[in-house]
């Protein structure tokens, strides 16, 4: 391989991705920074430098993957979410910015419950139990526990992450360790099917979930970087996209405490269906929050058991 300056390599590589990616320049820079183990500022100051042969070979290998529409996050096994770097591969969904809204609402609700405990408004003990159903990479549960640690929120809580995929749980375990938020108990289960849940009847304070919610008929219309690489079992939500929402809402009645909370991420057109189901099952004080694009993305409700 002949010597090539980083500047010229970027120009050539961007052209190769122009028909593949909506962000070809960004993709190239991320891949180069990863290969060279430098940040973007250092990359910019290195434009006139020549790239070493071994690094060029690795970069070209990554480029071939990207030209086949493999997502950048899977190529470099990393995705930033809530300001934290999560390990990801094709066994888990890539965390999206929209999901940060769910983390924000969960974190705020934990602080509200803590305040209610301190003020004697609730008879809960200061030992909350928070469960993330369909946890995947652990983006939600790991991020919220990290926020609690970093902001020194004075609350004792037990955290659970649940997923049917053992591979996903292994990735979640890796992120728990790398981001130093141990312990979080991981449960391999098809929703609430595991016998472990017999210990959690009427004991959970908050259930949060970003379940599979894409309608069966929509899957084949998705972009290739999603349908060809991200795990189908984490995407497909049944004919109307409500399969997992309905099951989680119904089963939550058994495992949430009275006045416990259920928090969902929603597909952009499903919030009202989820709200209707929650109302039918005894949830009150339901709030729907929009993401930065204006889509109804987060649904939060309180369960009142009669």
According to DSSP, the β-strands at 296-303 and 283-290 are antiparallel
Q: pLDDT digits over 260-295, tens only?
A: 999 999 987 899 999 999 999 999 999 999 998 899
% of residues, the chain, pLDDT over 90? 83
Report the pLDDT averaged over residues 166-194. Answer: 97
pLDDT for 94 = 97
Q: Residue 71 annotated as binding? A: no
Task: Tell me: pLDDT of 8 over 70.
Answer: yes
Confidence bin at 124 (pLDDT 50/70/90): low
61 vs 28, 35, 36, 66, 79, CA distance in Å?
12, 11, 14, 9, 19
147 pLDDT higher than 70: yes
Kindly state the average pLDDT of the residues 24-41: 96
pLDDT for position 258: 92
Q: What is the pLDDT of residue 154?
A: 74
Residue 162 DSSP one-character state: E
- The predicted model gives 6-32 an average pLDDT of 96
| Sign (positive or negative) of CA dihedral 89, 90, 93, 94 | positive
Architecture of the CATH domain 97-303:
3-Layer(aba) Sandwich (3.40)
Residue 274's Cα: distance from chain center in Å? 19
pTM for this one?
A: 0.93
Least-confidence region, from 26-40, 113-127, 174-188, 202-216: 113-127
Please tell me whether 163 is known to bind a ligand. yes
Residue 123 in this model has a pLDDT that exceeds 60:
no
Average pLDDT over residues 234-263: 94
Backbone angles phi, psi at 303, to 5 degrees: -90, 120
Of 31, 15, 71, nearest to 229 by C-alpha is 71
Q: What is the CATH number of domain 6-68?
A: 1.10.8
**Residue 97 neighbours by CB under 8 Å, 6+ apart:** 81, 292
- Characterize 178-209 residue by residue with b for buried, 16 or more Cβ atoms within 10 angstroms of its Cβ, and e for exposed: ebebeebebbebebbeeeebeebeeebbbbbb
- Intervals of CATH 3.40.50.150 along the chain: 97-303
Q: Is the pLDDT of residue 119 over 70?
A: no
Q: What pLDDT does 126 receive?
A: 59
pLDDT class of 34 with cuts at 50, 70, 90: very high
- What pLDDT sits at residue 152? 77
Would residue 148 be called left, alpha or beta, if left means φ above 0 and alpha means ψ between -120 and 50 degrees? alpha
Angle between helices 243-255 and 271-280 (to 10 degrees): 30
**pLDDT of amino acid 104:** 97
Comparing 33-37, 75-79, 302-306, the range with the smallest average pLDDT is: 302-306
Measure Cα distances from 161 to 198, 205, 246, 268 in Å.
16, 14, 19, 24
What is the rounded average pLDDT of the residues 116-141? 82
* Least confidently predicted of 49-53, 112-116, 213-217: 112-116
- Cis ω before 183 (30° cut-off from 0): yes
**Which pLDDT score is estimated for 269?**
86
- For helices 166-178 and 139-150, give the axis angle rounded to 10 degrees: 20
Q: Does the annotation place 211 within a ligand binding site? A: yes
Chain segment 205-214, per-residue pLDDT in tens: 999 999 999 9
pLDDT grade for 220, boundaries at 50, 70 and 90: confident
Residue 122 is predicted with a pLDDT of 61
Residues of the chain with CATH 1.10.8: 6-68
Residue among 270, 256, 242 nearest 109 (CA):
256
Q: Where are the beta strands (DSSP E) in 109-242?
A: 127-133, 156-163, 185-188, 204-209
pLDDT at 118: 66
Cross-strand pairs, 157: 128
Q: What is the pLDDT of residue 173?
A: 98
């Amino acid at each position: 391989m002949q010597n090539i300056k980083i500047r010229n390599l970027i120009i050539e590589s961007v052209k190769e991705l122009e028909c593949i990616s909506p962000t070809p320049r960004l993709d190239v820079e991320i891949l180069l920074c990863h290969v060279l183990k430098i940040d973007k500022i250092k990359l910019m100051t290195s434009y006139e430098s020549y790239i070493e042969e071994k690094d060029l070979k690795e970069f070209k290998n990554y480029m071939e993957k990207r030209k086949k529409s493999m997502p950048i996050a899977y190529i470099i096994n990393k995705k930033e979410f809530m300001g934290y770097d999560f390990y990801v591969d094709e066994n888990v969904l890539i965390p999206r910015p929209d999901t940060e809204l769910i983390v924000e609402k969960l974190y705020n609700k934990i602080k509200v419950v803590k305040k209610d405990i301190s003020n004697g408004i609730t008879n809960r003990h200061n030992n909350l139990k928070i469960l993330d159903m369909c946890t995947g990479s652990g983006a939600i549960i790991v991020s919220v526990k990290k926020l609690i640690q970093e902001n020194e929120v004075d609350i004792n809580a037990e955290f659970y992450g649940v997923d049917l995929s053992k591979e996903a749980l292994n990735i979640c375990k890796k992120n728990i360790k790398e981001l130093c938020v141990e312990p979080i108990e991981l449960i391999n289960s098809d929703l609430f099917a595991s016998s472990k849940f017999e210990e959690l009847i009427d004991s959970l304070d908050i259930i949060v979930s970003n379940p599979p919610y894409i309608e069966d008929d929509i899957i084949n219309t998705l972009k290739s970087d999603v349908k060809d690489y991200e795990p189908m079992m984490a995407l497909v939500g049944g004919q109307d996209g409500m399969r997992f929402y309905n099951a989680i809402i119904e089963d939550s009645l058994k495992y949430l405490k009275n006045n416990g909370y259920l928090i969902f991420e929603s597909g952009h057109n499903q919030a009202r269906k989820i709200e209707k189901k929650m109302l039918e099952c005894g949830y009150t004080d339901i709030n729907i929050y929009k993401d930065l694009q204006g889509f109804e993305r987060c649904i939060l409700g309180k369960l009142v058991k009669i």
